[in-house]
Structure formats: C-alpha cells, structure tokens
C-alpha cells in the first residue's frame, strides 16, 4: 500500500500481532510510526516490517514511548550488536548508551552535519536516540537523505567521484574534549580510516555520498584521479571539492526536521543519512540517550 501524508499506510506483513501506521514526514526522508508499543519486545514480523520501513524512509520516529534504559538497549540490540563509544559519557548501568546534551554552563556540540562514528573501520549501521528532556522551544534535529544528495549531483560530478577515497578521523571533532595523554591513547586505538567517497548501501544498493564535515578530513587519492599543474592546485582543488560535497547535506530539499518531545525516539540509518542537532536553546537543557548499532565496512 502506498503511504501519503494524508492517508498513512498500515503495514501488516505476515501475521503481525500489532499493525503499525507509517506517516511520511517529508517527500524524501523520514516517517512517523504509530500504533506500536516499544515497551514490548518486537516479534519477528514487527522487526522485519520496521527494518523494511527504515530502509525505505531512512529515519523512523516514535512518539510517546516511555521506555527504560534497559528497554532501549534491548530494542536497539534487536537490530544488531551495539558499540561502546570511546569519548561520550555513558549511562551508569548501560555502557552501550551514551548521554548527549550540555547543561546550563556547557552547550552541546553536535551542531554539525555528520554521520555517527564514520571514523570507525566499521561505521554504524544505525542509531537510536531517545529524548529524556528537551526545551519547549528549540533543540530540533535535522536529518538528510545522502542517497538523494548523490543522485541529484550533476552527472559529471558523480562520475568524477567514482574511485575517490576519503579519510575519516576521530580527533578533529573530539580532540578538544581530551587531555594530551587521552589524545595520544585515542590516536593509537582509533587511527584515521579510509572509506569510499561514494558508498553502496549494503541492503538497498543505493549509491550514497559518504563524506561529512565533522569527521572527513581529506581525500587520500585526489591527485591520482585528477590532473594538476602545481602542488597548490592539488590542495586547493581538493579542498574546493570537499567543501562542495560537505554543502550537499545543507540542501533543504534533502532534509526533514524533527521537533522533539520527551519520550520521542528517532531511529535512523547512518549508512545513508547525515544529521545536525540544532543548538538554539542554550542555556536550556536537552538530554538524550543514544544507542549505536555496529555496521560494516563501506564499499
């Protein structure tokens, strides 16, 4: 059944015990899922239908889900093994949950377009973020369909990107949170990694623009793929290209914007999206818990 904003589809694959509704949030990304109780474990049909919805819409939003930290971990684990983040503070009882958000003295710093942990050799498959506390006004999050961003690049640009390799690094974004000793130890544990500039989604086959301004530092093989006259041509041309690719995430036509409420859960596919947590509410508080599902090596 085709879903429209005016008439959301009901998904009932197989013998689904509790059908849920799917209401698209924008033409290109995002859907609100209704008529589902996430305090209860997902059965096989619900899991399969939600995974299919995630692949189609790339972002799933669930409202009014008053679940515990343990239930959030169990729900996220249904979709794969969870990582433990090496920098963010963790929930005291569940290290798989990172605690996000500043306070009245320290603002949050997630206001940059990024794909979670692209600096890992195995970046995440998806992230599941639950709102614990948020301001009445402000603190929205934007998600971007990066498959759409790639598809709508000019053909000549798409062709020029084939075979290019980007370097992703933990330290530029997180190094300021660390002591010199911590930076040294994190560098040893998490050296820069290389991923294709355009990755192929392992489940849908979509081609996805996979560089982000938070973690992508440079191109490993730009000079091999492009003719240059002088060294400064190479560096400036590489920087110009990267800046152009970064800016694709900021195109409103590829985006959806979510207004948070307590007990809202957002579940997104990190392989095909980027997101930006808007920091317009400081010194009000916004507290979140995030579980991140381990993915595979981009190809």
Q: Which residues are catalytic?
A: 114, 116, 275, 290
CA 180 to chain centre: 28
Distance CA 206, CA 68 (A): 35
Count the alpha carbons within 13 Å of 230 in the hemisphere toward its beta carbon: 3
Structure tokens given for 167 = 């370097």
Question: CB atoms < 10 A from the CB of 253, how many?
Answer: 12
Structure tokens given for 84 = 């433990």
Confirm if 170 and 186 have CB atoms less than 8 A apart.
Answer: yes
Confirm if 164 and 196 have CB atoms less than 8 A apart.
Answer: yes
Rg (CA), the chain: 20
Structure tokens given for 217 = 């530092």
DSSP readout, 265-293? Answer: EEEEETTTEEEEE---STTS--EEEEEEE
Q: In DSSP terms, which residues pair with 10 in a beta bridge? A: 21
């Amino acid at each position: 059944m085709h879903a429209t904003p005016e008439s959301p589809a009901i998904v009932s694959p197989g013998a689904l015990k509790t059908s849920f509704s799917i209401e698209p949030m924008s033409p290109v990304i995002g859907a609100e899922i209704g008529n589902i109780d996430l305090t209860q474990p997902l059965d096989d049909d619900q899991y399969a239908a939600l995974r299919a919805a995630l692949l189609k819409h790339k972002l799933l939003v669930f409202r009014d889900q008053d679940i515990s930290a343990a239930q959030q971990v169990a729900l996220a684990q249904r979709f794969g093994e969870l990582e433990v983040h090496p920098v963010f503070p963790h929930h005291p009882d569940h290290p798989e949950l990172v605690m996000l958000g500043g306070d009245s003295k320290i603002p949050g710093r997630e206001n940059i377009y990024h794909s979670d942990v692209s600096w890992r050799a195995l970046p995440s498959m998806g992230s599941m973020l639950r709102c614990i506390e948020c301001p009445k006004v402000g603190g929205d999050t934007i998600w971007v369909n990066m498959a759409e961003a790639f598809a709508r690049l000019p053909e000549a640009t798409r062709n020029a990107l084939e075979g290019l390799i980007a370097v992703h690094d933990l330290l530029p974004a997180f190094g300021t949170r660390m002591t010199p000793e911590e930076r040294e130890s994190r560098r040893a544990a998490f050296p820069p990694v290389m991923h294709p500039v355009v990755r192929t989604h392992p489940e849908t086959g979509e081609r996805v623009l996979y560089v982000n301004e938070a973690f992508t530092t440079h191109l490993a093989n730009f000079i091999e793929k492009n003719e240059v006259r002088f060294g400064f041509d190479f560096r400036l041309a590489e920087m110009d290209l990267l800046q152009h690719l970064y800016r694709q995430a900021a195109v409103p036509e590829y985006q959806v914007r979510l207004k948070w409420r307590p007990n809202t859960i957002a579940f997104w596919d990190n392989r095909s999206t980027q997101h930006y947590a808007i920091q317009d509410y400081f010194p009000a508080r916004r507290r979140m818990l995030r579980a991140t599902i381990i993915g595979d090596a981009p190809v």
